[in-house]
Amino acid sequence: MKILVTGGAGFIGSHVAEAYLREGHEVVVVDDLSAGKREQVPEGAAFYRLDIRSDGMDTVLERERPQVVNHHAAQKSVPRSVRDPLLDSDVNIAGTLKLLNGCVRHGVNRVIFASTGGALASVTAALPTREDAPPAMLSPYAVSKYAVEQYLRLYRQNAGLDFVALRYANVYGPRQAPDGECGAVPIFMGNAAAGRPSLLYSSPDMPNGMTRDYVYIRDVCRANLAALDCAGGQVLNIGSGREVPIGELYEAVCEAMERHLPLVSAGMRAGDLKRSVLDCTRAAELLHWRAETPLPEGLKETAAWFASSAS
């Protein structure tokens, strides 16, 4: 199969592109290198340095004619989306619509979309969060990811463009930069390596800090492989299903780095969800997927990469 991966020079996209190549697929990467790195584009993939919003995107689709577009390019920062909602919607909504129009014009069968389970978590529904829980919409980033899911439904209905939206929990692993939606692991590793203490955002009722669901990059790649030929029209949570307090994550990072530095208590940040964990039953049923990598194992591999990339 020929697969075009947008954002394939970034953290998740580069691993996904690699996984597709390993399975014998032909891969084309489009990335403007605004956050990604050229050296992260896997060997064997064709590469176009291009903004998805540019007219060149249509030319690439016309020339390459991929069967699947795996869409990871995005404005990925929640705080930046709050500061600049127009930029967020320009890249994440307008840019994606331009891409979808090109997909329809040039015969793409399926779009796999990197959505968010963390930012679309519900504040009213019971935990773990299911895909049909009403999302809290606490940021423009959440609005733009949710909007794209709705557009994907429309394009499937009106233009026959099939889709699978993967709502990631907090993805971690090698190549992750400390500036994304979910940067706790690289931030903690950077602090530990530099001998700096880290901050624990906590409240009296949650002394070990807010909770999140951490899923390892290798498991995320397996979900992107399974999404190539599962039933379409689906929005699926991709997480570990384990609710981990940030204090526990920090301890596990220290173990993996073999460095134990203090965690300094700070208050809860405004707008932060206190608890978040995803129900991944639907992915188990439809993708035959579940997260397999235990947190200590994923962190150990990430710490090894961190040490090798720093040296």
Ligand X SMILES: NC(=O)c1ccc[n+]([C@@H]2O[C@H](COP(=O)([O-])OP(=O)(O)OC[C@H]3O[C@@H](n4cnc5c(N)ncnc54)[C@H](O)[C@@H]3O)[C@@H](O)[C@H]2O)c1
Euclidean distance between CA atoms 171 and 176, whole angstroms: 9
Find the shortest distance in angstroms from Cβ 130 to ligand X.
17
SS3 285: helix
Find the shortest distance in angstroms from Cβ 139 to ligand X.
12
Candidates 12, 210, 257, 299; binder of ligand X (CB under 6 A) is 12
User: Token pair 């699947």 is at which residue?
Assistant: 68
Euclidean distance between CA atoms 152 and 157, whole angstroms: 9
Verify binding: residue 36, ligand X, rule CB under 6 A.
yes
The four Cα atoms 237, 244, 14, 70 give a dihedral, to 10 degrees, of 10
Verify binding: residue 91, ligand X, rule CB under 6 A.
yes
Euclidean distance between CA atoms 273 and 211, whole angstroms: 9
Euclidean distance between CA atoms 113 and 6, whole angstroms: 10
Give the C-alpha distances (Å, rounded to integers) separating 18 from 207, 224, 305: 40, 11, 16
Euclidean distance between CA atoms 77 and 239, whole angstroms: 19
Cβ nearer to ligand X, comparing 12 with 112: 12
Verify binding: residue 51, ligand X, rule CB under 6 A.
yes
Joined together, the tokens standing for residue 261 give 């530095």
Verify binding: residue 11, ligand X, rule CB under 6 A.
yes
Candidates 4, 5, 9, 99; binder of ligand X (CB under 6 A) is 9
Joined together, the tokens standing for residue 211 give 């909770």
Verify binding: residue 13, ligand X, rule CB under 6 A.
yes
Closest CA to 291 of 300, 281, 301: 281
Q: Which entry of 141, 172, 216, 250 is annotated as an active-site residue?
A: 141
Q: Which stretch binds ligand X (CB under 6 A): 45-53, 104-112, 148-156, 239-247?
A: 45-53
Cβ nearer to ligand X, comparing 32 with 131: 32
Residues 152-181 that bind ligand X (CB under 6 A): 168, 170-171, 180-181
**Is 141 marked active-site?**
yes
Find the shortest distance in angstroms from Cβ 271 to ligand X.
17
Find the shortest distance in angstroms from Cβ 58 to ligand X.
14
Q: CB-hemisphere CA count at 13 Å for 288?
A: 6
Q: Which stretch binds ligand X (CB under 6 A): 10-18, 153-161, 255-263, 274-282?
A: 10-18
Joined together, the tokens standing for residue 122 give 């519900």
Verify binding: residue 72, ligand X, rule CB under 6 A.
yes
Verify binding: residue 248, ligand X, rule CB under 6 A.
no
Candidates 22, 23, 34, 63; binder of ligand X (CB under 6 A) is 34
Beta bridge partners of 111: 69, 163
Residues that bind ligand X (CB under 6 A): 6-7, 9-13, 31-36, 51-53, 72-74, 76, 91, 95, 114, 116, 168, 170-171, 180-182
Residues noted as catalytic: 141
